[in-house]
Structure 1
């Protein structure tokens, strides 16, 4: 029986560094990974036959064989050994197949099993869907380095012909990230998606980008289900509800809030304007702020830096958090939240002139005292609309159950 070992993880394997002499690290069930002095990592199978320890059987190069696949092969060889047969011939045949299996389908499986291990469930799901639905059926059988830019264009054109230009662009981006990963592992010599311009697939005017209700719901549901820090989740949600600039939110101080009266007064000094700005808070925003207040990691800032030096998080923090999630919302930037809210509020408001007086993005000079009640009503209506989109996204993700 192979001796028991603590199972490895992909991150542990990636962290293994070469030494002056080659060495092995056990995963269990006879599976070991050998780290050569050159840095190359090779899967091996350790076994005993007829009471004698045998030379290690080679499974294959770590670059081409994921941990999951290596474990499956080790299990297969263990079953052969249990029959009193050496697995060497089988392993040799498998390696011959592996040497020919430098096709995109195998590479995609390796990418999904390793590079996406730490990503959110939503990110892995949308990536696998793009690969399984459009990419692999078309070019999955081609050698990794035989895939061309024309192949990527053809796939995107087929998707666009279904009336889905955004999905076509998303699929191109999935292939681009896949090949970036393969090039880093020296399995690919070029990135065929790199030379396919995004604008040739789908074009969006960044000054008019507005999220649909479905996109709002899917995005906030994915953010809530992600592993990013809770304060950052709340900050992103508050950006949607309050429609303030990102810098206004991340630099906000507790002294600016009157939660009992659902008011946030942003001082003129922070706005670089001639007067303060009052933001009327819907009940959902008040609830989130009270949660942050209970935690109160800083006496001054609502969103303090984790460094503990009593300063706010960097302005780029929220952008980095969204980027790390890999959300399936193309050509989106955080500023689009404000434009999105303004557009949807026009649909919620009964009269355009009422919106002009009531929107949180109203022009300077309009007296907020004259329309406070209407402003509160509209902002609460917007927050309720956002809640409905999130609930619809959750319902859809659960299969409508």
Structure 2
């Protein structure tokens, strides 16, 4: 049976030397000390001779077979490879043949080396693309050092990799960074554009540390050129809540978006938790909305007791969702929810006599006004899906469902009261059954 590279690698020394044959008289001899020596047996003028090439792996299997063929060609012409190796003179015509073979061998070897070098260079280039390095940075730095890395993952997948993923890290320019942030701003998401710039700044800082580039194009873009960082302490007054909801319902935006914005206020959930919601999460009989842990910031399931108003809104949305599994399906396909920027863009189209705010401030608004109304802080924190620390958290297993249901019903009624004369526009087709006391 012919030898193979795998078999050659696995040959182990024994107490005495032994041989393993290939073909055509070629064999490998394994020494007790572990050396593996190529040798060849051939016949010349009726007598057997043996000649040695050298050690494996200094000479590969393919090289040994080429040497075997050359030796057999010599013996076929009546010349002894063993004598020639000792230094005996080589006939002129044969010397030309040997020289040509040697030149071809060197040329083939050089070609193989060049191909290996090119393959390594291609591998290095692939590893230093933005896409490949972003994966490395996320796994080595971003994911271990952030309690909630999903937002960074989303930024990379949604904007950074589609924008410059195929580029070499060292080739990304300031213009590339601005093209990405400008596209995000065009969606009406200035703060997301600023967050994306910050993620890219950290990504390129790590690339510099790894000596893949000397320049951080994201750091060269001043934050103020993208968006003004907003204070996170904005809470609307009760009067502003009324003005905002009247403006929403009197606008030309889609009815589902109007109800979605209203539900953000009433349910005190995050925007992503609302727009990715599915119908199998809502129990109309029990009047609860159960959000699975994988869609929550802290990866813990969250239950939202639904007020009569919120339940009526979900009932109306059921008819607007066209049979989709999502409560807020995309207008392009029922198999996906609306985009993360949809509600932001809808609010930006409004002519509001209200201070600048972002949708996340609805949660702070609800928290502030409920605290001012004297409700228990633990109930409010549980509605916000904030984790209660210490002993209070230990005795929090019931999650205050009954208390939270009463509080959220009060909150829905309070929000209704702020709408003043816009009530008919707001309530719309919510249904009398849900409005009953």
Shorter-chain TM-score tier: 0.3 to 0.5
User: Bigger radius of gyration, 1 or 2?
Assistant: 2
Structure 1 length as normaliser, TM-score?
Answer: 0.45
Structure 2 length as normaliser, TM-score?
Answer: 0.41
